[in-house]
Amino acid sequence: MSMLRIRPWRLMFVAINTLFLGAVVLLTVYPFLFIIAASLSDPLYIQQGRVGVIPMGLQFDAYRRVLEYPMLGRAYLNTVVYTVVGTAISIVLTVCAAYPISRRNLPGRKLMTGFILLPMLFGGGLIPTYLVVSALGMRNTIWAIVIPAAISSFYVFIQRTFFEQIPAELEDAAKIDGCSQLQCLLRIILPLSVPSLVTIGLFYAVGQWNSFFPAMIYLNDEEMFPVQILLRDIVIQNQTDQMMVDVFDDKNLIGESIKYSTLVVATLPIIAVYPFIQKYFVQGSMMGSIKG
Amino acid sequence: MAEQDTALSEAVMAASRSKVNRGSPMKRYLPYYLLFVPPLIYYLIFRYAPVVMALTISFMDYNIYKGILASPWAGLKHFIDFFHSVYFWRVLRNTLVINLLNIVFVFPAPILFALMLNEVRKATIKRTVQTISYLPHFVSTVIVASMAVTFLSPSVGLMNNLLAKLGYERINFLLEPEYFWAIYTGIDLWKTLGWSAILYFAALTGINSELYDAANVDGAGRWKQTLHVTLPGIAPTIIILLLLKIGDMLEVGYELIVLLYNPNTYVTADVIGTYVYRRGILEANFSFASAVGLFQSVAGLVLIIVANRLARKYSETSLW
Amino acid sequence: MTNKCARQGILAAFAALAVGTAGCSGSGGGGTGGDSQGNGTAQLGADGKVLDKKIEVSVYMRPRTESVESNDSPWMKAIVEKTNVYFKWLKAPNDNNDYIQKFNLTLAGGDLPDLMEATPDLLNKGGENGVFEPLNKLIDDHMPNFKKILQDNPQILKDIKSDDGNIYFFPQISAVKTINLSILRQDWLDQLGLKAPTTTDEMYEVLKAFKENDPNGNGVQDEIPFTTRNKLKGLLPFIEPFGVSLEEDFYVENNQVKYSFTNPKLKEALAFAAKLYKEGLIDKEYITNDQKIWESRFTNQVSGATFDSFPRIEYLEKLVAQANPNVNMTGIVPLKGPNMEAYTKSQQTLIKNGFAISSRSRYKVELAKMQDWFYSEEGQLAHNFGVLGLTYTMENNEPKYTDLIMKDAKHSPLLKMYELGHREFAYQWDIRYENAMVTPKIEKIRDSITPYIKDKYPLTLSFTQEERDVLNAKLTEMTTYKEEMLNKFIMGAEPLDKFDDYVQNIEKMGLDQVLKIQQAAYERYLKR
């Protein structure tokens, strides 16, 4: 840090940077302040377009109603289980796929890479995938949720790129010390890849947390439903113009606030996880920035 | 970028390629292949088998009640149908334009954001900004669309209230075809900026700090370091992501568009995805949907092969 | 009115209001149920249960967020114990498209639940392909109550029969035809000394007065007289009076099937709508309005008219009352046009959804017997009114909901019923059930619309695969094009001189072929 010499261009850069990041933060954060304010506001004011970032006609009824939802606790538990199990499977399989194709001199590497790339471009679509999952008897089990989407080729390529960046001499040195390839992966490569594994793990975890479609089509048992299905039910219900919903209920009055409070309730836990994970990035970036 | 690599990083790369040869090739490589077996099985069952089915379906008149085995063949019928549609060129153009806009505006934004944030020295600010930036990723499309409609509304929307305060006419943004591309790109940018940047943050973390030390010793300033160390450090990630994006040139998800478009903006908003959604999914014409999907995939494959060739020619990174 | 209906003394009054053009079937309700009493009991087993042995069947049916799916809920318990059929509910999505998607997938996956709910079209398609059991024989052998309903109401039979002559599903039979109508702020009318409009001209005057005379009294001319959340279909009251409806893609003239959106009368209708739009009498954002913005028009008190479903009269009234307690909403009958008597084609269909039995179910006969009980008087009471003593009482032979349903602190009657386990299986809706859902004022308005409802082009036509292919290719493109153009005409983005070009373009897209297919399917329908 002491090396930093204050120069005019540096000041100008800091100013521009501050403006830029400030704008990003402002634009990102405004809708969220709105969501939180709306979830706490009297729906009448939301409808009149008078709610900005400060709640108007403060109420907690919307939250109370969402939390009263009988299946909510169960659904949370399911989501956590699917997320944890799914992410673990995903990371293991992704490493299994990414590591071999990151070895530049492995015979057949090109073929293996192509094998993983092709499915990114060619998708089977809904029906064929459904038929495969059904044929394997996975319907209405946790496996239908965590297995069919276990590997994303996209993340395999990201992970491969990280593996490739690890200097080969580290590995070579380990091998000279008598490590087998697998030991080498476990002891040298993986510990060095923590930032990328955490990143990819987070991507998988968030994907699993936010996913509702597999649950919707494969699960029949309400006991097994994740939170996102409830969220969708509540949000969609307040949007449909079916005859049935036309019946007036005081629930309709608060519908707009319920929509936003549901969003907060369904999203908050996974967002809360992030700061804990982020420390892995930060450690790394501190290392980088300290040299500035 | 590659040409500008410092001598030092060249040396590191060269060293990394030195080989240690021990044992027979089979013994050396076997563990790698064994490692690859579980993903191989996964891909064969959950990715390749469905694709084979889908390919078959696109040349059939698939009847969901009868199954693939009992459905009649239809030849190229669904492909001809699609190419001869009066809307073929329109949806193709819109798809390509939206994707080009994405590559020009949405794709580079997270890189810039990551680099800019990387220059911030205070860890707490850095962390806070980063945490805030990924929030939009968590908002479901239905809510995003609903907020967009509210914010853009001529009568009650924030945007128009601003315009009105500044003395301009109120504009019905969602009703005028000329705004649609901008609106879509804007929402896309808002939703993906922070989240996409995570990959670049991780890549920045992965840059060997010795390279910065060396650059410092050489007397390189901040700008030069960015140019010669930081950018080359994240270049592989950028190139991989760009290549994959190019492979997706013919895809635009239908979900957000379906929620935002209306007959008045079809002319700019209707993309292949929405067209197939109306004709293939809602009408349960799965053969048609599969056929169009096949067309998109083949076109994507061609593009990605060309792009990969270019990447290999001009940089160290490529998909294969 | 047939003799059957007239015999039902208690129901005559309701029937007269609600039946309208549909004859006896429309009033369904307790009407047909009463006739079958004798037969119904004959089917019961020794212990008074429908089935001797307890069975469990899986069912896939439309849910609501409030649905309580349990055999132990008060509402279902009585039904389950009576029939000896225990249900295993497969959780289905709420959203309509999601629901159909999962329905299709379940069919494709092969492993079907015993009983499935869907639209008549989907069930017939599945039935014709062997997925669902043909019911004709089961009806003859085991379903005296249902058979009687079909005999007494030929229209129901026609609507549920597939082109191959089989019946594949049990229908939910509705009791009310009215659905959408023009809704106005009566207090604004009163304040401006206006009468409820009956013609297009009067409507124009009313909307103009709403715009110019500041009925919300804020001193600014900020009124948007007419708004809607239903996009183009929300403008129906300005189109129909000219003799063409947006409610049907096709119409029949001299036994010829024709396309509604090339009807020459449409030009005049669009001209009227365009005039209203141009003068700012129709919400300029009508295409992009969603539920939320639509509601805000009313809570902000800038709009005084809309076109929506009848329960929304009360809904909007309660909504606006938060801002202005003096609000008074009303619904009006369809408008007369320059050369047209008042009518509307907006309606609830006689058959809502249906339930089909999987062709692989082990319990076909049992399910037929259960369904028959659902259609019996006892079954209808159980589905419509729940448990005697708990959810309803009998006064002078009339079922009446108890305070548990009608005076719940938190929920409207319908939602309360759902909370107690009520589900919409296949049975006849009772008009008294419908009436309990709305206030007497709404009931009156609802029934005032019924006589104006004209049958629309049948929705239950069926097509061969080749026919479907052509429709899918041509009609989808025509639909895209006409939606684009109709809105442009109304908004003035295309001048109406271009109307003839527009018609020609549609013809070029293969209208002939589409009409030929529709004609054939329509004729098959008539022959059912």
Phi, psi of C193 (to 5 degrees): 65, 35
Chain-centroid distance of CA C312 in Å reads 15
C107 and B174: CB-CB below 8 Å?
A: no
B133 and A154: CB-CB below 8 Å?
A: no
A248 and C412: CB-CB below 8 Å?
A: yes
Size of interface A-B (CB pairs under 8 A): 272
Instruction: Give the whole-angstrom CA distance, residue A160 versus residue B111.
Output: 20
Contact C227, C294 (CB under 8 A): yes
C293 and B150: CB-CB below 8 Å?
A: yes
Instruction: Give the pLDDT score at C41.
Output: 45
Report the CATH architecture of B77-314.
Orthogonal Bundle (1.10)
Encode pLDDT of B97-154 as tens digits.
999 999 999 999 999 999 999 888 888 888 889 888 888 988 878 788 888 888 888 8
Set of chain B residues whose Cβ sits within 8 Å of the Cβ of C221: none
Instruction: Give the whole-angstrom CA distance, residue B280 versus residue B286.
Output: 6
CATH fold of C3-177+349-452: D-Maltodextrin-Binding Protein; domain 2 (3.40.190)
Lowest mean pLDDT among A124-133, A181-190, C433-442, C469-478: A181-190
The token duo for A77 is 């538990």
- CA-nearest residue to B88 within chain C is C477
Size of interface B-C (CB pairs under 8 A): 88
Tell me the CATH number at A244.
1.10.3720.10
Instruction: Give the pLDDT score at A239.
Output: 52
Set of chain A residues whose Cβ sits within 8 Å of the Cβ of C91: 219-222, 225
Same fold across C3-177+349-452 and C180-332: yes
Encode pLDDT of A25-80 as tens digits.
998 988 889 889 988 988 778 777 778 888 888 888 888 888 887 788 999 999 99
C411 and A250: CB-CB below 8 Å?
A: yes
Instruction: Give the whole-angstrom CA distance, residue C385 versus residue C405.
Output: 10
State the average pLDDT for chain C: 88
* Token pair 């199954």 in the structure block, residue: B67
Beta strand C351-357 with C115-118 is antiparallel
Instruction: Give the pLDDT score at C45.
Output: 63
Instruction: Give the whole-angstrom CA distance, residue B47 versus residue A151.
Output: 10
Instruction: Check if C192 contacts B (Cβ < 8 Å).
Output: no
A17 and B193: CB-CB below 8 Å?
A: no
Encode pLDDT of C79-93 as tens digits.
999 999 999 999 898
**Which residues, in sequence order, are bridge partners of residue C87?**
C57
Report the domain count for chain A: 2
A99 C-beta neighbours (distance < 10 Å), count: 25
A88 and A47 part of one domain? no
Domain ranges, residue A49: 1-59
Instruction: Give the whole-angstrom CA distance, residue B78 versus residue C513.
Output: 18
Encode pLDDT of B279-300 as tens digits.
887 777 889 999 999 999 999 9
Contact B64, B300 (CB under 8 A): no
Instruction: Check if B81 contacts C (Cβ < 8 Å).
Output: yes
Query: What secondary structure does DSSP assign to B255-278, as a single string?
Result: HHHHHH--GGGHHHH--HHHHHII
Cβ-nearest to A285 among B201, B286, B300:
B201
3-state secondary structure of C330: strand
Cβ-nearest to B81 among C231, C296, C473:
C473
Contact A237, C300 (CB under 8 A): no
C483 and B263: CB-CB below 8 Å?
A: yes
Res. C26 pLDDT band, cuts 50 70 90:
very low
Biggest CA-to-CA distance, chain B: 79
pTM of the model: 0.84
Instruction: Check if C417 contacts B (Cβ < 8 Å).
Output: no
Lowest mean pLDDT among A90-99, B168-177, B206-215, C462-471: B206-215
Chains that touch A (3 or more CB pairs under 8 A): B, C
Res. B206 pLDDT band, cuts 50 70 90:
confident
Instruction: Give the whole-angstrom CA distance, residue C278 versus residue C508.
Output: 31
Q: What is the DSSP letter of C135?
A: -
Measured between CA atoms, how close is C224 to chain B, in angstroms? 10
Instruction: Give the pLDDT score at A251.
Output: 55
B278 and C480: CB-CB below 8 Å?
A: yes
Contact A28, B136 (CB under 8 A): yes
Lowest mean pLDDT among A251-255, B227-231, C34-38, C100-104: C34-38
A250 and A195 part of one domain? yes
The token duo for C242 is 């000219």
A181 and B50: CB-CB below 8 Å?
A: no
**Helix (H) or strand (E) run with residue C203 in it:** helix C200-212
* Interface mutation target, options C282, C284, C302, C472, chain B, most CBs of B under 10 Å: C472
Integer angstrom CA distances of residue C158 from C132, C247, C461: 19, 21, 10
The token duo for C37 is 């009493």
Instruction: Give the pLDDT score at C13.
Output: 37
Instruction: Give the whole-angstrom CA distance, residue B212 versus residue B229.
Output: 7
Cβ-nearest to C109 among A131, A237, A253:
A131
Contact B85, C477 (CB under 8 A): yes
Give residue limits of the domains in chain C. 3-177+349-452, 180-332, 465-527
Measured between CA atoms, how close is B149 to chain C, in angstroms? 8
Encode pLDDT of C329-340 as tens digits.
999 999 999 999
Instruction: Give the pLDDT score at A23.
Output: 92
Encode pLDDT of C383-436 as tens digits.
999 999 999 999 988 899 999 998 888 778 888 898 899 999 999 999 998 888
C311 and A239: CB-CB below 8 Å?
A: no
C314 and A250: CB-CB below 8 Å?
A: no
Measured between CA atoms, how close is B178 to chain A, in angstroms? 23
A112 and A137 part of one domain? yes
- CA-nearest residue to C62 within chain A is A244
Cβ neighbourhood burial of A120 (10 Å; 0-12, 13-18, 19+): buried
- CA-nearest residue to C464 within chain B is B63
- CA-nearest residue to B175 within chain C is C288
Closest CA to A80 of A266, A291, A226, A218: A226
Instruction: Give the pLDDT score at B23.
Output: 57
Measured between CA atoms, how close is C283 to chain B, in angstroms? 10
* Interface mutation target, options A219, A249, A250, A258, chain C, most CBs of C under 10 Å: A249
Superfamily (CATH H level) for C180-332: Periplasmic binding protein-like II (3.40.190.10)
Instruction: Give the pLDDT score at B17.
Output: 45
Instruction: Give the whole-angstrom CA distance, residue C520 versus residue C256.
Output: 10
Integer angstrom CA distances of residue B242 from A164, A261, B271, B280, C376: 18, 37, 21, 30, 66
Res. C39 pLDDT band, cuts 50 70 90:
very low
Encode pLDDT of A228-239 as tens digits.
888 877 776 655
Contact C19, C27 (CB under 8 A): yes
In this model, does residue A204 exceed pLDDT 90?
A: yes
A52 and A88 part of one domain? no
In this model, does residue A151 exceed pLDDT 90?
A: yes
Lowest mean pLDDT among A88-102, A175-189, B161-175: A175-189
Q: What is the DSSP letter of C344?
A: B
Instruction: Give the whole-angstrom CA distance, residue B97 versus residue B92.
Output: 9
Cβ-nearest to B135 among A28, A125, A285:
A28
Encode pLDDT of B55-81 as tens digits.
999 999 988 888 888 889 999 999 999
Complex ipTM value: 0.86
**Helix (H) or strand (E) run with residue B161 in it:** helix B158-165
* Token pair 């949405």 in the structure block, residue: B106
The token duo for A158 is 């990201």
In this model, does residue C460 exceed pLDDT 50?
A: yes
